[in-house]
Amino acid sequence: MSDAFDAGWNVLEIYVRDGVDDPLNGRVECGTLDSKTFDSISDTVSPQGVMAVVEMHEWMSPSTLHAADSGEGWSIVLDAVSDPGNMGTIIRSAEASGCVRVILVNDCVDPYSPKVVRASAGALFHVPVVVGAAWSQVTEVASRVLGTTSHEGVGSIKTTSLYDVDMDGSLALVFGNEAHGVSPSAPITEWVTVPHVGRSESLNVAMAATVLCMHVARCRSEMVSRHRQAGE
């Protein structure tokens, strides 16, 4: 909840279990509940002893996506991702890697699902989330759209290892539904895969997203360093 407060979200009330200190030191009204009452209103098996009432923000509208906003930043696109734990983890990885926005297309899980909020570990309050976007709006902010897949090819198109893909410039990484992958209607510029050894056929979507996010962050950091060394 300190992440929500620090990010400027309106934290209305805080409740702590008896014996737990106020995490915001009186900056927001804080009530104390006995253990039985606290546990009865928590939706987790082992609550940490602190909960907050936070005013929901309206998610960013797809109409806010414009070509002028693309710059050199990069986006994550979630295509019908349905598991709240996966979405929360991906948002957490997005913030950690410097992604400028997360765009939701098709029928994704509600970003305000309690499991999404918990899995994001506070990142949800810091990363802009665009809900209900169309593919045409994705291409307005990304000159290249990289689709992710665990297969060696999509149709007649062979996939490329993420380690052989240029991660510079304005781009979007697309992660698809847990069961069906990226939608066939997605305007994919290039299909990318995470090479791995072992018997597993694929990675969980959140795991794959984390690998790709941190790889992009590293590539772009190295690019900036090279430009600085060259005096550009």
Sketch the domain layout of the chain as residue ranges. Answer: 2-54, 62-229
At the topology level of CATH, where does 62-229 sit? Alpha/beta knot (3.40.1280)
Determine whether 224 is exposed, middle or buried from the number of CB atoms within 10 Å of its CB (0-12, 13-18, 19+). Answer: exposed
CB 74 within 8 A of CB 127: no
The predicted model scores a pTM of: 0.87
Structure confidence by residue, pLDDT tens digits, 148-160: 998 776 777 889 9
Structure confidence by residue, pLDDT tens digits, 54-107: 998 888 888 877 654 556 689 999 999 999 999 999 999 999 999 999 999 999
CA max distance for the chain: 63
Q: CA torsion 127→131→133→139, rounded to 10°?
A: 0
Read off the DSSP letter of residue 81: -
